[in-house]
Homo-oligomer: A and B are copies of this chain.
Amino acid sequence: MLLSKSCIYGLRASLYLASHGNENYIPIRKMSDRLEISFHFLTKILQQLTAEGILESFKGPNGGVRLTKPGDQIPIMEIVLAIDGHYLLTECALGLPGCGIKKPCPLHDKWAETRDSIKEMFENTTLTELAKKGKEENLRLTEDGGFDLLFD
C-alpha cells in the first residue's frame, strides 16, 4: 500500500474537520462513528496529528479536536508526513538504504522522477480543496457514504 491505514484514516478525519471549518471542536467519537473507523484507533492517530501541531485538542464536554490552521493552508502532504514519515519522498524503489545520486540503484533515476510527481500531487492539494469538492459533489469518504453523512 502506498499509504498506511493509519495515514488513510488520518486523512479522512482531516477532511472531516476541514469540511466543518475550525471554530468548534469536534468529538473524535462523532468522527469515528460517521467515518466508520474504530474510535480508539482513530484516537491514537489523531493524537499523533495533535503532537505534530496539525490538530489541537480540548478535553471535557464540548471538547474534541480541530485544525490549528485553516484547511486551505494544509497540503495533504502534511498529514502524510506526520503519520507515515518521509519514506514517500526518499525511499528507493528497490529498498536500498541511502539510494541517491551518489550511490544509485538502476531504477533510481526513473523512480525519482515518478516519486516527485507523487510528492507534487500531495504538496499541491489542500484539505479545503478536497473538502470543498467532496461537499459540492457529495463524493465518497466511507465505504458507502458521502460527505453528506458528515453533517447533521
Contact B140 A105 (CB under 8 A): yes
Known pairs A12-B94, A117-B114, A118-B114; A104 contacts B1 (CB<8 A): no
Partner of A93, one of B2, B91, B97, B110: B2
Interface assignment of A65: CB less than 8 Å from any CB of chain B: no
Bound Cα distance A130, B108 (Å): 10
Chain B residue at smallest Cβ distance from A125 = B110
Contact A140 B12 (CB under 8 A): no
Sample of 25 A–B contacts (CB below 8 Å): A1-B1, A2-B91, A3-B93, A3-B95, A8-B93, A8-B95, A11-B94, A15-B106, A96-B140, A96-B142, A96-B143, A97-B143, A104-B140, A105-B134, A105-B140, A105-B141, A106-B133, A106-B139, A106-B140, A106-B141, A107-B130, A108-B139, A110-B121, A114-B117, A117-B117
Interface assignment of A151: CB less than 8 Å from any CB of chain B: no
A140 neighbours in B (Cβ, 8 Å): 96, 99, 103-106
Q: Which of A70-126 contact B (CB under 8 A)?
A: 76, 87, 91, 93-97, 99, 103-108, 110-111, 113-114, 117-118, 121, 125
Contact B105 A111 (CB under 8 A): no
